């Protein structure tokens, strides 16, 4: 079984401030982990993925995430928020080769000018 918990359904940061979106996972086997971004009325775009290589994963738009097995976490960060980062972010986990992905409930990021 696999699951994902995203802490905080809404996060607000000032423009230029650090972005930290939290994700904890549960998996019975070593997982693959993903962060996706969704803009209003659009599909999902992959930001980055962890596939058991480097624990610090760099993605698009300046985002990165660190896989911490001991904490079962995969938090998403960005050093300096930009107005265009305002969107909804989903953490996701895949524990098996069936390609079935389980999504978290999402975190809506608001960037305050």
Partner 1 sequence: GAVVSQHPSWVICKSGTSVKIECRSLDFQATTMFWYRQFPKQSLMLMATSNEGSKATYEQGVEKDKFLINHASLTLSTLTVTSAHPEDSSFYICSASGQGTTGGISPLHFGNGTRLTVT
Alpha-carbon distances, residue 27 vs 23, 47, 52 (angstroms): 13, 21, 14
Residue 102: which residues within 8 A CB-CB, separation 6 or more? 2, 3, 4, 92, 93, 94
Residues 75-104 interacting with partner 1 (rule: CB under 8 A): 90, 92, 94, 97, 99-101, 103-104
Residue 12 touching partner 1 (CB under 8 A): no
Q: Measured from the CB atom, is 6 or 73 closer to partner 1?
A: 6
Residue 42 touching partner 1 (CB under 8 A): yes
Q: Which residues bind partner 1 (CB under 8 A)?
A: 9, 32, 34, 36, 41-46, 49, 51, 90, 92, 94, 97, 99-101, 103-106
């Amino acid at each position: 079984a696999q699951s994902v918990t995203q802490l905080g359904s809404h996060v607000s940061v000032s423009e230029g401030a650090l972005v930290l979106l939290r994700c904890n996972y549960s998996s019975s086997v070593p997982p693959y982990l993903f962060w996706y971004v969704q803009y209003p009325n659009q599909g999902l775009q992959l930001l980055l993925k962890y596939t058991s290589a480097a624990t610090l994963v760099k993605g698009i738009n300046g985002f990165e995430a660190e896989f911490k097995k001991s904490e079962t976490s995969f938090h998403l960060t960005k050093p300096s928020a930009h107005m265009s980062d305002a969107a909804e972010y989903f953490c996701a986990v895949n524990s098996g080769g069936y390609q079935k992905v389980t999504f978290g409930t999402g975190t809506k990021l608001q960037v305050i000018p």
